[in-house]
């Protein structure tokens, strides 16, 4: 079975949030980047499916500037077989449909049995790219998936619903799943894996040129305005603790 995993490189979680000069994104100069968290779970699921099946191939794909190669390389070190870097320096000016299109173009040629994406990116939080990609490729999809089981010629997946509910869904292959975090335990890259990754194929392809103007545009970013008045405690840890206890006693009345 051939599995393609779309992974996105995103700023690390504790990235400093300074608005860039053009007002449309944050200043990237002192950011560190990492794999989008649900995508790490998507990769893990793909690797486990391959291991269970005994044969097959896991191909990781990422669209972005040159720096994304480090994230692809890490995926190779964890066990992916090949990587495709879709060179794209203008991700920010493409909307979801534009990004899904360049992914679709690159993935189509691979004709995979299964495509996995993360359910949502930590930076843009759109939660859409996988679903749009499935639509462009004309294959069935399911979202927010915790578990994947191969079932004859198709799949049985466990889909997360709200409030602690779940649902099983069966579907034929090829299909696309958007993976939720927590379904598996993530592996670390071994030294051996890191060494092996160096000789694995990383193909660079040009991004499909944008065919349409974006349907929606991000005009500006801004820091959220605080709406609630929070009473802040300052001082030494002991002083802070004393102030909190005071509040818990006389205002919240739980002590």
Ligand X SMILES: Cc1cc2nc3c(=O)[nH]c(=O)nc-3n(C[C@H](O)[C@H](O)[C@H](O)COP(=O)(O)OP(=O)(O)OC[C@H]3O[C@@H](n4cnc5c(N)ncnc54)[C@H](O)[C@@H]3O)c2cc1C
Site residues, ligand X (CB under 6 A): 13, 119-120, 144
Site track for ligand AMP across 103-142, x = CB under 6 A: x-------------xx-xx--xxxxxxx------------
Interaction of residue 254 with another protein, rule CB under 8 A: yes
Instruction: Report, in Å, the least distance between residue 92 CB and ligand AMP.
Output: 10
Copy the structure tokens of residue 161.
């619903």
Interaction of residue 183 with ligand AMP, rule CB under 6 A: no
Q: Decide if 197 contacts 160 (C-beta within 8 A).
A: no
Site track for another protein across 161-190, x = CB under 8 A: xxxxxxxxxxxx-------xxx--x-----
Task: Collect all residues with Cβ–Cβ distance below 8 Å to 150 and sequence separation of at least 6.
Answer: 1, 49, 52, 53
| Minimum CB distance to ligand X smaller for 8 or for 85 | 8
Looking from the CA of 90 toward its CB, the CA atoms found within 13 Å total 11
**For tokens 């930590």, what's the residue?**
122
Give the separation between CA 47 and CA 187, rounded to whole angstroms: 10
- Of residues 181, 191, 186, 185, the one with CA closest to residue 77: 191
| Minimum CB distance to ligand X smaller for 41 or for 79 | 41
Site track for ligand AMP across 68-87, x = CB under 6 A: --------------------
Give the footprint of another protein on residues 212-251 (CB under 8 A). Answer: 212-224, 226-228, 230-234, 237-238, 240-242, 244-245, 247-249, 251
Give the footprint of ligand AMP on residues 5-44 (CB under 6 A). Answer: 6-8, 36, 38-39
Q: Which does 142 bind (CB under 5 to 8 A by kind): ligand X, ligand AMP, another protein, none?
A: another protein
- Of residues 27, 152, 46, the one with CA closest to residue 11: 27
Interaction of residue 255 with another protein, rule CB under 8 A: yes
| Minimum CB distance to ligand AMP smaller for 121 or for 184 | 121
Task: Collect all residues with Cβ–Cβ distance below 8 Å to 107 and sequence separation of at least 6.
Answer: 4, 6, 61, 115, 133, 137
Give the separation between CA 220 and CA 240, rounded to whole angstroms: 38
Beta-strand pair 141-151/114-118? unpaired
Query: How remote is the C-alpha of 68 from its chain's centroid?
Result: 13
Q: Which does 39 bind (CB under 5 to 8 A by kind): another protein, ligand X, ligand AMP, none?
A: ligand AMP
Provide the binding-site residues for ligand AMP, judged by CB under 6 A.
6-8, 36, 38-39, 61-64, 91, 96, 99, 103, 117-118, 120-121, 124-130
């Amino acid at each position: 079975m051939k599995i393609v995993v779309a992974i996105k490189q995103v700023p690390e979680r504790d990235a400093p949030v300074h608005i860039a000069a053009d007002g449309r994104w944050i200043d990237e100069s002192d950011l560190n980047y990492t794999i989008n968290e649900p995508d790490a779970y998507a990769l893990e699921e793909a690797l486990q499916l391959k291991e269970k099946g005994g044969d097959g191939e896991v191909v990781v794909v990422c669209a972005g500037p040159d720096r994304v190669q480090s994230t692809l390389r890490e995926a190779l070190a964890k066990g992916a077989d090949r990587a495709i870097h879709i060179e794209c320096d203008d991700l920010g000016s493409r909307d979801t449909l534009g990004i899904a299109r360049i992914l679709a173009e690159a993935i189509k040629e691979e004709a995979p049995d299964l495509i996995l994406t993360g359910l949502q990116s930590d930076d843009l939080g759109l939660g859409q790219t996988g679903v749009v990609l499935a639509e462009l490729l004309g294959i069935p999809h399911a979202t927010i998936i915790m578990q994947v089981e191969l079932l004859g010629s198709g799949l049985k997946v466990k889909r997360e619903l709200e409030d602690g509910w779940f649902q099983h869904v069966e579907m034929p292959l090829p299909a696309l799943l958007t993976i939720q975090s927590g379904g598996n335990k993530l592996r670390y890259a071994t030294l051996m894996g890191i060494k092996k990754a160096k000789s694995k194929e990383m193909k660079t392809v040009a991004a499909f040129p944008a065919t349409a103007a974006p349907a929606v545009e991000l005009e500006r970013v801004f820091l959220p305005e605080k709406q609630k008045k929070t009473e802040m405690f300052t001082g030494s840890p002991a002083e802070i603790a004393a102030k909190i206890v005071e509040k818990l006693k006389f205002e919240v009345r739980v002590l």
